[in-house]
Amino acid sequence: MHNEMISEGSARVFSNKHIQTSELPRLQELALTPISRRYRIINLSAISAIALVLLSIVTALRFQPLFELPEDLVFAYPYICSVIFGLAFLWATYHFFADTKITYAVREQDVSKQSGLIFRKLSCQPILRVQHVELNRGPLERWAGLASLQVFSAGGEMYTFEIPGLELEKAQKIRQFILDHKDVSAR
């Protein structure tokens, strides 16, 4: 099936030809780049710090000399510590494996991000539909020289996707590339 329309007074041609799926490029041909290894180190360090702070608070409350705790709370202390340690271990294990699965690609017409350990997700944002791009850097990211790039789609108030763990210089280059090319018409 072939639909075609020529605009009056211009040389623009609208085309809506049927595409055979066998002719489409293979998704595996998308050259994905991994994010910085430092992102995983930051996540694991933050999880460890949070767990240590929680364990310290629970331990300080358990052994404080100012007032006597109810017997049930004294009895629950090892279980509370075990739960905190167990959740931190699961959270850290997830990030240990999942953070290595975050990859991205920048092409002429789009930006893509793939992530997920159990459920894999591939997001592609056409550069022409980008409303704006933000670089975010928390204190740990600044310390490690990293940044997160948030890509906002036209018509949405939330970002379409975020590429975390980019080296600052690389994130700035990608942001500038998107801004320089978002108003260029598709070829």
Whether 65 shows a pLDDT value over 90: the answer reads: no
State mean pLDDT over 52-66.
93
Q: For the chain, how far is it from start to end, CA to CA, in angstroms?
A: 23
CB-based contact 105:30 (threshold 8 Å): yes
Tell whether 174 is covered by a domain.
yes
Tell whether 117 is covered by a domain.
yes
Q: What is the pLDDT of residue 161?
A: 86
Q: pLDDT (tens digit, 9 = 90+) per residue, 75-131?
A: 999 999 999 999 999 999 999 999 999 999 998 888 999 999 999 999 888 888 888
Q: What's the CATH number where 49 sits?
A: 2.30.29
Q: pLDDT (tens digit, 9 = 90+) per residue, 148-164?
A: 999 888 776 777 889 99
Task: Give the total number of structural domains in the chain.
Answer: 1
Tell whether 17 is covered by a domain.
no
State mean pLDDT over 166-179.
94
Q: What is the pLDDT of residue 10?
A: 57
Tell whether 1 is covered by a domain.
no
How far apart (Å, rounded) are the C-alpha atoms in residues 127 and 176?
A: 12
Q: How far is CA 162 from CA 16, 56, 81, 130, 141, in A?
A: 32, 33, 34, 13, 14
Q: What is the pLDDT of residue 22?
A: 81
Whole-structure pTM value: 0.76
Q: What is the pLDDT of residue 129?
A: 87
Q: What is the pLDDT of residue 48?
A: 97
Return the higher-pLDDT residue of 97 and 187. Answer: 97
Tell whether 4 is covered by a domain.
no
Q: What is the pLDDT of residue 68?
A: 87
Give residue 159's domain range.
32-187
Tell whether 173 is covered by a domain.
yes
Look at residues 58, 183, 60 and name the one whose alpha carbon lies nearest to residue 127. 183
Confidence of residue 166 (pLDDT cuts 50, 70, 90): very high
Q: pLDDT (tens digit, 9 = 90+) per residue, 2-44?
A: 455 555 555 677 878 888 888 776 666 788 999 999 999 999 9
CB-based contact 33:167 (threshold 8 Å): no
Whether 170 shows a pLDDT value over 70: the answer reads: yes
Tell whether 8 is covered by a domain.
no
Tell whether 21 is covered by a domain.
no
